[in-house]
Structure 1
Amino acid sequence: MAKVHEIRNDYIKISVAEHGAELQSLTDTATGQEYIWSGDPAVWGKHSPVLFPIVGSLKENTYYYEGKPYQLGRHGFARDMDFSLSEQRPEALVFTLKSAEATLKNYPFPFELDIRYQLQEKTVLVTYNVKNTGRGDMWFSIGAHPAFKLPLFEGDAYVEYHLEFEKTENAGKWPILEGGLIAEAPVPFLENTNKLPLNKNLFVKDALVFKDLQSEKIALVSDKTGKGFVFSWKQFPFFGIWAAPGADFICLEPWCGIADSTGSSQELTQKEGINRLEAGGHFKRTWSVTINS
C-alpha cells in the first residue's frame, strides 16, 4: 500500500497518498462528514487523480514530436507513479515527481511536477507547479479529476443535488466519441442558465466536456439544506463533469488540455490546449474546495 500523509486544521482534514500524489479524503473535523469518493475498485478505483502530461485520450494513443511517434495512455502516467513527499508543514503537503528513464521513453521532456495541498480554514487549495528541467521547450497538458461522493449527506438522494455555476452560462457540450476522442462540434447544453440539476443519466455517454466556461466557480448544493461545497479554479480553459455509469459520485475536472479530436494531426506542438514551457520555466495552476456543511 502507498504511504498516506494527513494534515488538519480546526475545520478540515485531508489525507494524500504518495502514489499519484492523490487526495484520498477530505473531511469536516467537526462532523466527520466525508466529501471524497471512497474509490471502490468495483466501480471506479480512484479518488482524485492528476492528469499529466496529457488530458484525455490521444488519437490512436499516439502523438508525434520532431518526426518520432510516442505512445501514451489516457490521462498520461503521473497518476500511476509514486511521488516523493518533498515538504510537510502543519497545514501543507508538497509531493514531487521527476522525469526518469521510464518517463522519457514515451515523453521525451525532462520535468519536475510539484503538487501542493494547502489548508486555509474550510478550504483545501491544490496547486500544480510544472518545471521544465530540460534545455529546450516542453509541451504538456495537466488537469484535475477529483471525485466527490454523491449524495453527500445521509438521507439525501442523488437527484436532490444540483450544480450552481458562478455565472449564467451558454455553453455547448463537446461529445466524447468511441476511443475517447472529442467531436468536432458541440451540441447545445447549458442555455442561459447557471443551474444543472443532477441525475445519473447525465453521464450515460461519458463526461460533459466544456470549452471556455464563463464561470471559475461551481457550487454543489443539496436542494434540501443548501449545504455542500464550492469548487473553484483559475486559468483552466476546459472543464469536464463525469461519473461512472450509475455511480454514487461526481467528478469536477478543470483541465489545461483536452483529448484529441477526431481530426487531430497528432502533432504534439499543434495539439489543442497544449502548453509550451521554455527551458527553466514554471507553470502554476490552482483549484480548491471549500466545504459548507
Structure 2
Amino acid sequence: MQTIENQFLKVSINPLGAELVSLFNKENHTEYMWNADPAFWGKSSPVLFPIVGALKNNQYFYQGKTYTLPRHGFARERVFSVEVQKEDSITFLLKEDEESLKVFPFPFEFRLIYTLVEKTLSVSYSVRNTGNEEMYFSVGGHPAFAVPLSEDTVYEDYYLEFNQTEDFQRWELADGGLIKKEATRFLENTNRLALTKELFYQDALVFKHQKSTEVILKSDKVSKQLKFTFENFPFLGIWAAINANFVCIEPWCGIADSENHEQELTEKEGIEVLASDQIFLRTWSVSL
C-alpha cells in the first residue's frame, strides 16, 4: 500500500489498479471507503480504462480487426508504478505493453493522481496519447463509499442530494451489461435520491448528461457526510452490490455499449478521441 496524508485525512492506495482503498478522517475517526468484503464485492474504487462498462460480446472492431476486452477494461488489474510521491500527493503511471497492445492497439501513458488539500481528496485521470494516430478510449471512476457512516444509523437513513434539480431518465442494463434501447422515467423534478437496498436489485442506475456536478451523501440523523464533485463527466452510475453496505458514485467519460451497437470503436457512444501527443484530463473529488 502507498499512503498520503495531511492533518485531516489519511489515504491508502493499492498499486494494483492504483485503487483507492482507504479514506480515513482523522478528526472523527471514520473510514469513508467500503471495506471490499469479497462476500459482496471485493473492490473499493477500481479505475475503468480503456473502456467503461461492457462491450457487446466483449468485442469491438477497429480498422478491420476484432479486439476483445472485459467489462471496464484492463487497468484495474494492472500494477501501476509510482512516478511521483509527496507527503500529500502521489502519481501512479501505467503504460502500454505487449499484452495491452493485443487488446487495445494504442500507445499511451495513463496517470492516476491523488492529491490532498485540507479535507478534500482529488483524483485525476490523465491520459496521454504517445502514438502517432488518434486514440479512442473511455475512462471512469467507481469509488464505493461506506453506508451507513455511523453505527447509530442504517442504510435507509441516507440519501444522495444533487446540486441541481434533475429529471433523471434511467438507462437500464440488459443481459450482459448492455444499455437498453429506451430509457425509463426515474426521478422527476427533484434533487434527492433516497438510498434503499432494493434500489440496486436490478443492477446499476445509469444516467446520461445530468445537470448536476456535485452530489452529497448524507443523513438527517448524523453530521457525517461527504460531497462528491464530478465536473465534465457526461455519464453517471450509481450502484451497490445486492444487500451490501456501500454506494458507488461513478463518474464516467464513456458508457457501456447499447444493445443495438454495431461494435465499431470509432462509433461507440461517449468515446473520447485524443490526437497524437495530446493529454486528456478529468478530476473528481470527495470532501469530508
Fold similarity call, TM over 0.5: yes
Aligned partners of 2:150 and 2:222 also within 8 Å:
no
Give aligned-pair identity as a percent.
52
TM-score, normalization by structure 2: 0.99
Structure 2 counterpart SS, 1:252: strand
Deviation at 1:152, TM superposition (A): 1.2
The corresponding residue for 1:202 is 199
1:64 aligns with 61
Do the aligned residues in 2 keep the contact of 1:86 with 1:96 (CA within 8 Å)? yes
The number of residue pairs the alignment matches comes to 288
Cα distance, 1:190 vs structure 2 = 1.3
CA distance in 2, matches of 1:71, 1:113: 20
The correspondence for 1:145, drawn from 135, 142, 146, is 142
* Residue 107 (str. 1) matches residue 107 (str. 2): no
Q: 1:233 aligns with which of 230, 235, 240?
A: 230
Aligned partner of 1:30 in structure 2 is 27
Q: Structure 1: which 4+ aligned runs deviate by more than 3 Å?
A: none
Q: How does 1:97-246 map to 2 (within 5 A)?
A: 97-246=94-243
The one-letter amino acid paired with 1:47 is: S
Letter in 1 for 2:27: A
**Cα drift, residue 227 of structure 1:** 2.8
The separation in 2 between residues aligned to 1:255 and 1:144, in whole angstroms, is 6
1:263 matched to 2:263: no
RMSD of aligned C-alpha atoms?
Answer: 0.6
Using the alignment, how far apart are the partners of 2:159 and 2:92 within structure 1? 33
Q: Matches of 1:66 and 1:196 in 2, distance apart? A: 43
Indicate if the aligned counterparts of 2:143 and 2:249 stay in contact, CA closer than 8 A: yes
- 1:250 matched to 2:252? The reply is no
Give the gaps of 5 or more residues in structure 1.
none
The CA distance in 2 between the partners of 1:194 and 1:141, in whole Å, is 27
Q: Answer whether contact 1:162 1:223 (CA < 8 A) is retained.
A: no
Contact 2:116 2:122 in 1 (8 A): yes
Q: What is the CA deviation profile of residues 67-106 of structure 1, one whole-angstrom value per residue up to 9, with x for unaligned ones? A: 1000000000000000000000111010000000010001
Scaled by the length of structure 1, the TM-score of the pair is: 0.97
- TM-superposition CA deviations, 1:103-151 (whole Å, max 9, x none): 0001000001000000010000000000001110000000000001111
Separation (CA, whole Å) in 1 of partners of 2:86 and 2:222: 35
Q: Distance in 1 between matches of 2:135 and 2:191?
A: 37
- Does the aligned pair in 1 maintain the 2:229–2:286 contact within 8 Å? yes
The gaps in structure 2 that reach 5 residues or longer are none
Per the alignment, in what secondary structure is the counterpart of residue 125 of structure 2?
Answer: strand
